[in-house]
Chains A and B, each alone.
Chain A
Amino acid sequence: MRKSLDYIIETIIFICGMLSIIFVVLIFSFLLKEGLSFFKDFSFIKFITNQFWYPNSKIPSFGILPLICGSVLVTLGACLIAVPIGVMTALFISEIAPKGVRDILKSLVELMAAIPSVVIGFVGMVTIVPVVKNIFNLPTGLSAFSGSIMLGFMAVPTIVTISEDAIRSVPGQYKEGALALGATKWQTLRRIVLKAAMPGIIAAIMLGIGRVIGETMAVMMITGNAAHVPHSIFDPIRTMTSTIAAEMGETVRGGMHYKSLFAIGLVLFLITFIVNFIADLFLGKNKNL
C-alpha cells in the first residue's frame, strides 16, 4: 500500500516536471515556426536594421531598428536607475540596518515586486509623466525617460532580493578578518564583502534587466509608442514588447504583419535568453566560490 502510494506520487511529480519542459518546448517551437516563416519572405538583416516600421502601409516596411533602440534605451535608462539603488538597498538591508528596520524593509521590497505592472504603469502615467513634462519642458512627458524611471522601479525588487542573498552569504569570517586588520566598516564592505558577492550581484542585475526588457504593460502606457529611432532619452519611443501587444489584435492570422510580430518575439526571446544565460553563468560561478 505504502509502496504504491509512493509510486503514484512519484509519477505525478514526474509528469508535472515534464509538463513544464513540454510547455517551454511547445511555446518555443511555435514561436520559431511562425517567426522563421517570416524570414523566408523578408531578410533578417533588413528586419533588424531598417528604421521604418510601417507594417500596414501599401508597401509595408518591417524595420524593427526603432523598436530595438527603444527597448535598449529604456532598459539602459532603467538599469542606470535601478542598479545603484538596488545594490545600495541590498547592502543597507544586509549589513547596516538594525534588525527591526531590516525586516520591515525586506517585506516592503518583496511587496514592491508583487505590484501588477499595469498598476505601476497607471500610477506612472498620472504622476511621473506630467512631472517629467514640466521639469524638462517637453512637448510630452510620455518618453523613454519616464519609462526608464518606472521600469527601474520595477527592477529594484529583483535586484535587491538576489543581491541581498549574495551579500549575506559572504562568510562572516571575511568580515571579521578585514575588521581585525584595522579596516573600517565601509572599507570592509567595499573591498571584501562586495568583491566576494560580486558574481551574485551581477546575476541579480542580469535578472533585473531580464524583467525590464520583457515588461510590456507599463512601458506601453508611459513611453508614448512612437516607432522612430530616438535621438535623446526624452523622445517618445516604442519597445518590441509593446508593439506585439498593441498590434497583435489588428493582424490577419497568417499574414505578413502577423508573422512579423512573431519574428519580433523571436528577437526578444533571443535577447532575454542571452541575458539569462549570462546570469546563469555568474550564478554558477558564485556557487563554486
Chain B
Amino acid sequence: MSKIEIKNFNLYYGNFHALKDISISIEEKRITAMIGPSGCGKSTLLRSINRINDTIEGVKTEGEVNIEGVNIYNDNVDVDFLRRNVGMVFQRPNPFPISIYENVAFGLRVNRIASSKEIIDETVEKSLKSVLLWDNMKDKLHKSALTLTLEQQQRLCIARGIAVAPHIILLDEPCSSLDPVATREIEELMIRLKDDYTIVIVTHNMQQAARISQDTAFMLLGKLIEFSKTDKIFTNPSKKETDDYVSGRFG
C-alpha cells in the first residue's frame, strides 16, 4: 500500500481552481520530487498533505488525501496530531526567535511527547545529530536560533521536525534561499534521511530533483501531467509538456 494516496483532489482559493483533479500515489521511504513552473500548484499540493493550507482564508477542497489508508480531510481527523506525524520544512528557514535548544524541544513540549528533562535533552541531541548540527552547536544550545547561518537555520528546522518523530517529511523548496554549497549539504542530508522517512520535496530546480529523488511528479497549471520514476521523467518522458519542461524549452 502506498504511504500517501491522493485521489481526485481539487483545491480552490476562493474562486481560483488551484489544483485540478490530482491523483498520485507516493511510496514509503523514497524521495518524491514535485517539479513544475512557478504557480503550477506544486507547493499547494504539498501543503495539502499536512493541511497547513487550512490556515489560509477561503480555501476549499474536494477529494481525498489518504495517509496510510486514512483520509486526512475526514471531519474526525485530529489536525494537530496529523501535523505532528507529517513534518514540514519551509522555503525560508523559519526558526523561532528562541534558543536553539528550545526550537528543537518545542514540538516535544506542545505535543506533550516528553516532559522530563533527560528525555528532552536526549531527543534534542539525537535530532541535532541527525542533521549534523550537534558537534558545532552542543556548546551554544542556549544561543538564539537567529544567530545561525541560513543553512544552519534550515538544518535546525529539519531537526525540529524530526524531533517529534514524523513518518513523512514535506519540504517546500528547502534550498531556495541557500548557496550551492549549502544546497549540496542539505541534499546529502535528505538522501540520508530517506532510509527512515518518506520524503516529498517541492523544487523549482530540476537538477536537484534529478540528483536526489527516486520518483518525480511534473505539474503544470494545477494539473498533474506526469508521475513516474525520476530517470524516466528526465530521459524518456511520455508527455510532450514534460519533455518541453525538462529539456528547458519553457518554465
Contacts and interface: CB of A to CB of B under 8 A. Distances in A.
Interface of A: 99, 171, 173-184, 187, 191-192, 195-196, 289
A182 B81 contact: yes
Given A176-B52, A176-B90, A187-B110, A181 B98 contact: no
B97 A182 contact: no
From B52, B57, B92, B94, name the one whose CB has the most chain A CB atoms within 10 angstroms: B94
B107 A182 contact: yes
B106 interface: yes
B96 A178 contact: yes
A182 B96 contact: no
Contacts of A180: 50, 52, 83, 87-88, 90, 161
Contacts of A177: 90, 94-96, 157, 160
Nearest to B93: A173
Contacts of A289: 97
A181 B160 contact: yes
B15 interface: no
Q: What 6 pairs between A and B have smallest CB-CB spacing?
A: A182-B84, A173-B94, A180-B88, A181-B107, A183-B110, A177-B94
Interface string B147-173: 000000000010011001000000000
A82 to B, nearest CB: 27
A176 B82 CA distance: 14
A182 B164 contact: yes
A175 B106 CA distance: 13
A223 B52 CA distance: 52
Chain B, interface size category, equals 20 to 34
B136 interface: no
A174 B96 contact: yes
Nearest to A99: B57
Please report whether the interface of chain A is mostly helix, strand, loop or mixed according to DSSP.
helix
A289 B97 CA distance: 8
Nearest to A188: B110
B120 to A, nearest CB: 14
B251 to A, nearest CB: 26
A107 to B, nearest CB: 20
10 contacts: A99-B57, A176-B88, A177-B160, A180-B52, A180-B83, A181-B111, A182-B110, A183-B111, A196-B96, A289-B97
A182 B94 contact: no
Nearest to A180: B88
B121 interface: no
A284 to B, nearest CB: 16
Contacts of A195: 96-98
Contacts of B94: 171, 173-174, 176-177
B83 A182 contact: yes
B90 A191 contact: no
Contacts of B55: 175-176, 179
From A174, A179, A182, A196, name the one whose CB has the most chain B CB atoms within 10 angstroms: A182
Contact of B110 (A99, A174, A178, A196): A178
B144 to A, nearest CB: 10
From B82, B96, B110, name the one whose CB has the most chain A CB atoms within 10 angstroms: B110
A241 to B, nearest CB: 39
Contacts of B82: 182
B80 interface: yes
Given A187-B110, A191-B106, A191-B110, A181 B97 contact: no
Given A174-B96, A176-B55, A182 B90 contact: no
